[in-house]
Amino acid sequence: MSRLPSLAIIMPVIVLGGIYSGIATPTEAGAVALIYTLIVGIIIYRSLPMQILFNSTVEAARLTGAILMVLFFLFVMSRGMVLAKVPTQFADLLLSISDNKIVILLLINLLLLIMGMIIDDVSGGVLAAIILLPVTQKIGLDPIHFAAIVGTNLGLGNISPPCAPLLYMAGGVTRQPLSVYVGPTMKFLLLGHLPMVLIVTFVPPVALFLPGLLD
């Protein structure tokens, strides 16, 4: 029995190992991790009551449904924006402010940061592709480089106060007061995440090195 707790620790290895090794997609790795959790929790530990399993399933379905509804309306909105030529008009607006590539990139970073503070990264990625991709195409930015900029900025926004959706969700899961984790988080943001955002934005080889190995 002393070795049983180690079985629970294997689950992150299954998820992250499967994703980063290329064996499985994130969805497939999550499905495998779910099956593993059921086996360990119900058969081995015998500490996962069916009521908790049912409640977790209902909650997961509710969250998944909400996300799918958001994405559905985002795609509907994106189609309408494309037909109305809003992305092109927005690109022209940004380029009318300045034709300097550095200034445009700083504006894009600011918009992505604000976007990440308000909505989740999936929705933010869809909106960024709709609105900002035409801007980056006009300034000659590599699409993969743009994707890296979007990912790092939305990640920063999701844990940046005052909105910080992921930060507050983590606090709710751990049941810790805001005063406990906001200080260390701000230090991490200013000294770690923000410099990385700027490096990814203005040093393209950082974002393009690994994809370049696949060419």
**pLDDT value at 138 more than 90:** no
For residue 215, name the pLDDT band (cuts at 50, 70, 90): low
- Is this prediction's pTM over 0.85? no
CA separation (Å) from 94 to 104, 139, 183?
7, 11, 35
Long-range contacts (CB closer than 8 Å, 24 or more residues apart) made by 72-75: 74/123, 74/126, 74/127, 75/126
pLDDT value, residue 36: 86
With CA atoms as reference, report the closest residue to 183 among 205, 152, 161: 161
Task: Report the C-alpha gap between 72 and 19 in whole angstroms.
Answer: 26
pLDDT per position as a tens digit, 31-82: 888 888 888 878 877 777 888 888 888 888 887 787 778 778 777 877 787 7
Residue-level pLDDT at 200:
92
What are the domain boundaries of the chain?
1-48, 85-215
Determine contact, residues 103/135, Cβ cutoff 8 Å: no
Confidence of residue 2 (pLDDT cuts 50, 70, 90): very low
Q: What is the pLDDT of residue 1?
A: 43
Mean predicted lDDT score pLDDT of the chain:
81
